[in-house]
Structure 1
């Protein structure tokens, strides 16, 4: 019995590893309608909630270059800048268009630039 359980767990572990290795997370459509994905970035995580959508991307480009891309793209699409802030950890901004709000947070860790995009409904 123990041998069958061990064999089952081993097979299940291999199947789960294969599934997670082949899983692809897509750039959310509602965020895509506001701004295209940063060129060459990888989607790490995406989430949809009743309040909106969030996506986490990674890139090897420097934080200021990534932030400038989103700032220009949002401004050209009619989003109005509400707030921008530079701090030791990175750069962030907040835009508004109608009843929608868009947050961009760009930080740098040791190897990658992390990009967090949040699209939601304003109060």
Structure 2
């Protein structure tokens, strides 16, 4: 998967209307922080709800992130799997509350990525 496709898939997740609504409800006024990992590189430029996303590097993983940073709007993408050149599985963790999303995204006929399925859960 190209860098451009990776960025487009991540941006598609950030543009999801339910996520934008929930963030304004649970994290009013906070900017989104994204954990650097094998999926997210430190120089990635993404936006969420009109604001730049800050890529951070922290040592904690999994539920420990939320415990070490209570109430902060911190997200990670622990899995990004291309199952086909036009299909991606993407897992996301919102660390405050340990909420999870598993997205299935597909590239539409115009070349843009769209969410085909979203499974929500908890760690």
- TM-score per shorter chain, which class? 0.3 to 0.5
TM-score with structure 2 length normalisation?
A: 0.34
Larger radius of gyration: 1
Q: Structure 1 length as normaliser, TM-score?
A: 0.34
